[in-house]
A and B are shown apart, each in its own frame.
Chain A
């Protein structure tokens, strides 16, 4: 993806109140968002780190799903059923969240709108499905 577009969309995410930055591992570009508010009392923690893989065909190829800090737990001591185990990325342990769109990715979608979309999962807490 173009450097200028990435910087534009990262700044937009930062302006939207998210601590977002770009990271690269094994040739794969990621957007790392630290300390995203979890917005629901079902979770044991108030903020959580999020990781989103960005295809090099972005923005034609859109964003989908995301990784979440493996520390994210529900109060019942369980992980959310939509969170599946994932390998270490950037030296940190994650779970991958199977969280998708029901409409095609469009050119009006951005890094920021995707973070909102992922935060919806958190907002719904244990009711997320």
Chain B
């Protein structure tokens, strides 16, 4: 099981806990947060309750959270229908190794028991913090405490904190990655290897992302698409053949076949489905990074909404060829990164609600609406070529390396668009900077 939180929340937690290590290293500090379970494997921390001086009893050689402090968090969390609480506390003298003390082992079960009496069915987490190490355990319903594996901090970058209690030395990577270790070190490679990455869309861009991420060392990929291979896809669909067209094979099957034939050790799972189907979307609960390679606006809206709701890092990419009459006007490749606290695809103006309306109508009905002359025809097949898709995919894959081992000078507000016709790369601004976003609540407040 893992925990996920945002950089904004983690910074606040870290500030409190760091007092133990900045000062004379005698006082234990702690903080209570609220957890929310997502699927079977993930706990989210979205709210924390900053302690005041009287909330923590630091006098007895072991930290005790005051009853009113616990009660305040518990009442709020229970009312909001959350799963439980998370208790962080420090062991000021621990450095590279930390473990629960005898005091923790005797006091904690009593605390959990008390909490469950007033809040039946609740599940709680405890994390003990040393200077350079963290150890975590979870009290699931009706079970003994279980070890937690990792805490993902999602923001401008992705930080992974091991909860095993010591500083883990990453294993020596396979020689396959020798020539990439300056860009992605052993530690970062281990993160990519463990991370579960979902690629949504197995078309011209999605198939390239699968290939690039496998070769970057990503170990657990999930590919989702419900389309079959058509002859007009063959100009850009990696590994697809005319036999796939004749046999009406699914795009995901083509990717799986290629993956099985390769010596790289990554796993590739496929889903023949669409994220607009709630049961398919639900399967993304245990995912650590979303990659959107879809050209329809409604599934992109659904993914964006899911990422915003559940603190998921989401890289969305695409390419567009603009035609005016007979003339080629633009060749654009775009990569956008959505993370908690930052603007989403909606406030960046990358989701068109009029298109979503039309996408939701049956073909005949849609043709009638388009016939009224008030909206763009979304049934025209857009031009697409592999080399333009490659520009977007290549940058997205590099950006994912950057997320786990930063190297971009201005990686922050990632919304980048490259124009091949003008040979320029630019960052894209927000569409309606003065309005609060209806999806993520983002208000324009960065320069």
A64 & B369 in contact (Cβ 8 Å cutoff):
yes
B356 & A61 in contact (Cβ 8 Å cutoff):
yes
Q: Is B142 an interface residue (CB 8 A)?
A: no
Contact pattern, B 149-168, Cβ under 8 Å of A = 1, otherwise 0: 00000000000000000000
Could you tell me the distance in whole angstroms from the C-beta of A121 to the nearest C-beta in chain B? 14
Known: A96-B368, A107-B438. A53 touches B353 (CB 8 A): no
Q: Is B393 an interface residue (CB 8 A)?
A: no
Could you tell me the distance in whole angstroms from the C-beta of A11 to the nearest C-beta in chain B? 22
Contact pattern, B 344-378, Cβ under 8 Å of A = 1, otherwise 0: 00000000010011111110110011001110000
B357 & A57 in contact (Cβ 8 Å cutoff):
yes
Once the chains are docked, how many angstroms separate the CA of A56 from the CA of B365?
12
Q: Is B301 an interface residue (CB 8 A)?
A: yes
Question: Using Cβ atoms and an 8 Å threshold, which residues of chain B touch A106?
Answer: 438
B360 & A58 in contact (Cβ 8 Å cutoff):
yes
Once the chains are docked, how many angstroms separate the CA of A64 from the CA of B358?
10
Known: A60-B353, A61-B358. A26 touches B364 (CB 8 A): yes
Q: Is A17 an interface residue (CB 8 A)?
A: no
Q: Is B314 an interface residue (CB 8 A)?
A: no
A55 & B438 in contact (Cβ 8 Å cutoff):
no
Q: Is A21 an interface residue (CB 8 A)?
A: no
Q: How large is the interface on B (under 10, 10 to 19, 20 to 34, 35 or more residues)?
A: 10 to 19
Contact pattern, A 76-104, Cβ under 8 Å of B = 1, otherwise 0: 00000000101100000000101010001
Once the chains are docked, how many angstroms separate the CA of A55 from the CA of B372?
17
Could you tell me the distance in whole angstroms from the C-beta of A86 to the nearest C-beta in chain B? 7
Q: Is A28 an interface residue (CB 8 A)?
A: yes
A98 & B374 in contact (Cβ 8 Å cutoff):
yes
Question: Using Cβ atoms and an 8 Å threshold, which residues of chain A touch B372?
Answer: 65, 84, 96, 98
Once the chains are docked, how many angstroms separate the CA of A106 from the CA of B362?
22
Chain B interface mostly = helix
Known: A65-B369, A106-B438. A60 touches B374 (CB 8 A): no
- Which residues of B from 56 to 73 have beta carbons under 8 Å from A? none
Question: Using Cβ atoms and an 8 Å threshold, which residues of chain A touch B369?
Answer: 53, 64-65
Once the chains are docked, how many angstroms separate the CA of A74 from the CA of B276?
44
Question: Using Cβ atoms and an 8 Å threshold, which residues of chain B touch A58?
Answer: 360
Q: Is B298 an interface residue (CB 8 A)?
A: yes
Question: Using Cβ atoms and an 8 Å threshold, which residues of chain A touch B356?
Answer: 55, 57, 60-61
B353 & A105 in contact (Cβ 8 Å cutoff):
yes
Closest A-chain residue to B357, C-beta based? Answer: A61
Q: Which of A27, A62, A87, A105 contacts B362 (CB 8 A)?
A: A27
Closest A-chain residue to B362, C-beta based? Answer: A28
Question: Using Cβ atoms and an 8 Å threshold, which residues of chain A touch B360?
Answer: 55-58, 61
Once the chains are docked, how many angstroms separate the CA of A60 from the CA of B365?
18
Question: Using Cβ atoms and an 8 Å threshold, which residues of chain B touch A62?
Answer: 353, 357
Once the chains are docked, how many angstroms separate the CA of A28 from the CA of B365?
8
Closest B-chain residue to A89, C-beta based? Answer: B365
Contact pattern, B 366-399, Cβ under 8 Å of A = 1, otherwise 0: 0011001110000000000000000000000000
Question: Using Cβ atoms and an 8 Å threshold, which residues of chain A touch B301?
Answer: 60
Question: Using Cβ atoms and an 8 Å threshold, which residues of chain A touch B374?
Answer: 64-65, 98, 100
Closest A-chain residue to B355, C-beta based? Answer: A61
Once the chains are docked, how many angstroms separate the CA of A110 from the CA of B298?
19
B298 & A26 in contact (Cβ 8 Å cutoff):
no
B359 & A57 in contact (Cβ 8 Å cutoff):
yes
A64 & B357 in contact (Cβ 8 Å cutoff):
yes
Known: A62-B353, A98-B372, A105-B353. A53 touches B365 (CB 8 A): yes
Could you tell me the distance in whole angstroms from the C-beta of B286 to the nearest C-beta in chain A? 24
Once the chains are docked, how many angstroms separate the CA of A14 from the CA of B298?
29
Closest B-chain residue to A55, C-beta based? Answer: B360
Once the chains are docked, how many angstroms separate the CA of A86 from the CA of B369?
11
Hey, which bits of chain A sit against chain B, CB under 8 A? 26-28, 53, 55-58, 60-65, 84, 86-87, 96, 98, 100, 104-107
Not counting A57-B357, A62-B357, A106-B438, a sample of 13 additional A-B residue pairs whose C-beta atoms are within 8 angstroms of each other reads A27-B362, A53-B361, A53-B369, A60-B301, A60-B353, A61-B353, A61-B356, A61-B358, A84-B372, A86-B368, A87-B368, A98-B372, A105-B353
Pick 23 A–B contacts, CB within 8 A, sort by A: A26-B362, A27-B362, A28-B362, A53-B365, A53-B369, A55-B359, A55-B361, A56-B361, A57-B359, A60-B353, A61-B298, A61-B353, A61-B356, A61-B359, A62-B357, A65-B374, A84-B372, A87-B368, A96-B368, A98-B372, A98-B373, A104-B353, A107-B438
Ranked 5 nearest A-B pairs via Cβ: A55-B360, A57-B360, A61-B357, A61-B356, A61-B360
